[in-house]
Amino acid sequence: MNETASLVFILVGISFDLFGCIGLIRLPDVYNRLQASTKCVTLGTCGILFGVFLRLGFSAGGVKALICIVFVLLTAPVAAHALAKGAHKYGVKLWERSVCDKYTEDKK
């Protein structure tokens, strides 16, 4: 039972990681790509780690996997903010069909 559940979690995690990578290629600009990569890769990686935890149970390895989940959840969004803010500061344009850009309007 535990084996099956852990395999399911790992498979779901890997497929979300794959969706994130597809998004990284298909979406048009830096900001949209960050959307896809942060969200999907965060949940995908957490899924894989949770699968590892289910397989190992409350042992040294399993608890480390749980702590890694917390670590990924706290750091991935911060890295994304830093990348987006840096890109905007450096002057990377939004996609030409974007609706609005209040940030540029306010910075002028």
Partner 1 sequence: MRYIRSRAITFTVSILLWLLLSFSLDWQHLLVGAFAALLVAWMMGDMFAGQPGKWLSPRRYGWFAFYMFVFAWECFKANIDVAYRVLSPRLPINPGIVKVKTTLKTETALTFLANFITLTPGTFSVDIEKESGYIYIHWIDVKTQNIEEASRIIVSKSERILKEVFE
Beta carbon of residue 97, minimum distance to partner 1 (angstroms, whole number) = 8
For partner 1, give the closer residue by CB, 2 or 103.
103
Which residues make Cβ contacts (< 8 Å) with residue 24, sequence separation at least 6? 33, 36, 37
3-state SS track over 17-57: HHHHHHHHHHCCCHHHHHHHHHHHHHHHHHHHHHHHHHHHC
Alpha-carbon distance of 85 to 80, in angstroms, equals: 8
Alpha-carbon distance of 104 to 88, in angstroms, equals: 8
Alpha-carbon distance of 19 to 21, in angstroms, equals: 5
93 binds partner 1 (CB under 8 A): no
5 binds partner 1 (CB under 8 A): no
Number of residues counted as binding partner 1 (CB under 8 A): 44
What track of x and - describes contact with partner 1 for positions 42 through 81 (by CB under 8 A)? xxx--------------xx--xx--x-----xx--xx-xx
Which positions touch partner 1 (CB under 8 A)?
16, 19-20, 22-23, 26-29, 31-32, 34-36, 38-40, 42-44, 59-60, 63-64, 67, 73-74, 77-78, 80-81, 84-85, 88, 94-95, 98-104, 106
